[in-house]
Amino acid sequence: MGWFSRRSRAAQGTPTKLDREGTPEDLAALERFATSRQGVEFYLEPETTATDTTVMAIAHDGEWIRRRTGTPRAAGALARKHAIPLYEATKVGYPDRMRAWNRAHPERRVR
């Protein structure tokens, strides 16, 4: 037995997800945000081993929410349904207005 082969065969399968998957409630929250604010854009965040695929919805004033969508396809369908631009966050980054909104609302900071 080699040094790095001490893990059992069962433990070498797919990595365990540490977080829950996207739910219909998550999609409903994104939809409510998008329909109640102006100038909303979606920023797709890829799935990681810690969380499912997420979308950050950012309004024209920089207010934002982040919710799981389950798949990029579900995020795209929601964006098309409401004619909302969908960007890949890893490629384009986040808009400066979001950072300005975060500075103006320190109570929303995650600690």
Give me the number of domains the chain comprises. Answer: 1
Q: Residue 91's Cα: distance from chain center in Å? A: 14
Q: Is residue 44 part of a domain?
A: yes
pTM: 0.79
Q: Is residue 4 part of a domain?
A: no
Domain coverage including residue 76: 19-108
Mean pLDDT (the chain) is: 85
| CATH (domain of 68) | 3.40.1690
Q: Is residue 13 part of a domain?
A: no
Q: Is residue 101 part of a domain?
A: yes
Residue 32 scores a pLDDT above 70: yes
Higher pLDDT among residues 57 and 111, named by residue? 57
Q: Is residue 10 part of a domain?
A: no
Q: What whole-number distance in Å separates Cα of residue 39 and Cα of residue 103?
A: 20
Higher pLDDT among residues 18 and 110, named by residue? 110
Residue 64 scores a pLDDT above 60: yes
